[in-house]
Amino acid sequence: PCGMDKMIKKLLIANRGEIACRIIKTAQKLGVRTVAVYSTADANARHVAMADEAYCIGNPPSRESYLCGDKIIATAKASGADAIHPAYGFLSENADFAAAVADAGWIFVGPAASAISAMGGKSQAKTLMQKAGVPLIPGYHGEAQDEATLVREAMSMGLPVLLKASAGGGGKGMRAVHEEAELKDAIQAAQREGLNGFGDSRLLIEKLLLKPRHVEVQILADQHGHCVYLFDRDCSLQRRHQKVVEEAPAPDLSAELRQAMGQAAVQAAQAIGYSNAGTIEFLVDNGQFYFMEMNTRLQVEHPVTEMISGLDLVEWQLRVASGEALTFSQSDLKVHGHAVEVRLYAEDPAHDFLPQIGRLSCFDYPTAQAWQRVDTGFQQGDEISPYYDPMLAKVIAWGDNRELAISRLLQTLSAMRVSGLRHNLSYLQRVVGHPDFIAGQLATDFLVLRHDELLNMTS
């Protein structure tokens, strides 16, 4: 495509682990020089070795290193980088950081700070989406926060309801209420958790959907007003609001529903003047879809979308941030086959999935086939530290259809060798090989309902 002359020349990746390695790979393909940052715990990490240059930015705790926006901007300056990619987690959805990067004269590889803040507060985001005509779950996200109002609103939409801390995330400050007698206590508890966890006691209330699916739509928008959706992903298989298995496209949705969701996602993005890659998350229930939230960044599960769309999302993030226009329209995009991803973690499923630390004495995996993909920030011999998310790798397989993608994923997982610490490899094999998963019986309570069975099945 034209416009490569103004392509980012040197990119600082404000992140670590597999996603930093993933971004470096695409930058190298595009001839963009890369700058890694690392904490003292990550001095020997794979992303540090892969980058053209690397700078230590502090001690192991994130708040002393990867969360220090000022140190990251100072490093960009010292290294001569002209752009900063935040990846996901850490500072990726921090509007103040995005604004500071832009104010200091660097390209922020992501949306404008205004779009991040528009989607940052759940209540505000819902109000915006309502105006844009995007369907919402019946709920209350008003200003009045006294107990009487909250009780009245909850009862008027009908129990069960879900109480959510407005500023919350990661499942904190959430309470499901099934009986009227539990309502007042649950409101007080959720307000306390919101205040303690996020310094904000405001709540929103949603009608609780009992068997929903979590389906998200990947969008990509440039700075010239073009926006497309790159199909959908099903992320229903979750444990404590953390995704375990993701697949694209989402199985068993009608063409009409897919198209309506895709168009709603584009409307949502355009309503806030969005540019770059982003994801709109929906709940799907009984053939209806409802806006949940927008992630204003690249997602962990972006590889499944790359495999079915044939697009490199990081490449387009860099092109769009450099000012290039999308070179394709919605009608040019087609779904090719099916892809499934699982997240391999250093955790002990037998002991409530407790994160594990220690040395990865063996870490061997196949990637000989074009349909296999393993994204990791680790290699054999690495230490898994207690400071960061214990994800070891994302394992992805593609096939012409869902059945083939699943069997190839199982084949890839069974050829992996991981030892030195406890991990969830055999748990993932049981989940993906479960007859109900293969039959496409997807809902957000899938893992909860089969918890004991999945732990006790012999691998």
Q: Examine the pLDDT at 169 and tell me if it is beyond 80.
A: no
Q: What is the pLDDT of residue 459?
A: 44
Instruction: State how far the Cα of 174 lies from the Cα of 413, in Å rounded to an integer.
Output: 34
Residue 38: other Cβ atoms inside 10 A: 21
Q: What is the pLDDT of residue 5?
A: 54
Catalytic hit among 258, 297, 319, 373: 297
Average pLDDT of the chain, as a whole number: 94
Residue 329, sorted as left (phi over 0), alpha (psi -120 to 50) or beta, turns out to be beta
Instruction: State how far the Cα of 57 lies from the Cα of 106, in Å rounded to an integer.
Output: 19
What count of Cα atoms within 13 Å lies in the side-chain half-sphere of residue 57?
30
Shortest CA distance to 205 belongs to which of 158, 256, 242, 264? Answer: 158
Instruction: Tell me if the bond preceding 251 is cis, omega within 30° of 0.
Output: no
164 in Cβ contact with 193 (< 8 Å): no
Query: 3-36: per-residue pLDDT in tens?
Result: 445 889 999 999 999 999 999 999 999 999 999 9
Q: Higher pLDDT residue, 199 or 326?
A: 326
Mark whether 297 is an active-site residue.
Answer: yes
Q: What is the pLDDT of residue 4?
A: 46
Q: Examine the pLDDT at 38 and tell me if it is beyond 90.
A: yes
pLDDT category at 79 given cuts 50, 70, 90 is very high
Query: 80-136: per-residue pLDDT in tens?
Result: 999 999 999 999 999 999 999 999 999 999 999 999 999 988 778 888 898 888 999
173 in Cβ contact with 193 (< 8 Å): yes
Q: What is the pLDDT of residue 3?
A: 44
Which residues have CB under 8 Å from 45's CB, separation 6+?
16, 17, 38, 377, 382
Q: Examine the pLDDT at 37 and tell me if it is beyond 70.
A: yes
183 in Cβ contact with 177 (< 8 Å): yes
DSSP code string of 199-265: S---EEEEEPPSS-EEEEEEEEE-TTS-EEEEEEEEEEEEETTEEEEEEESPTT--HHHHHHHHHHH
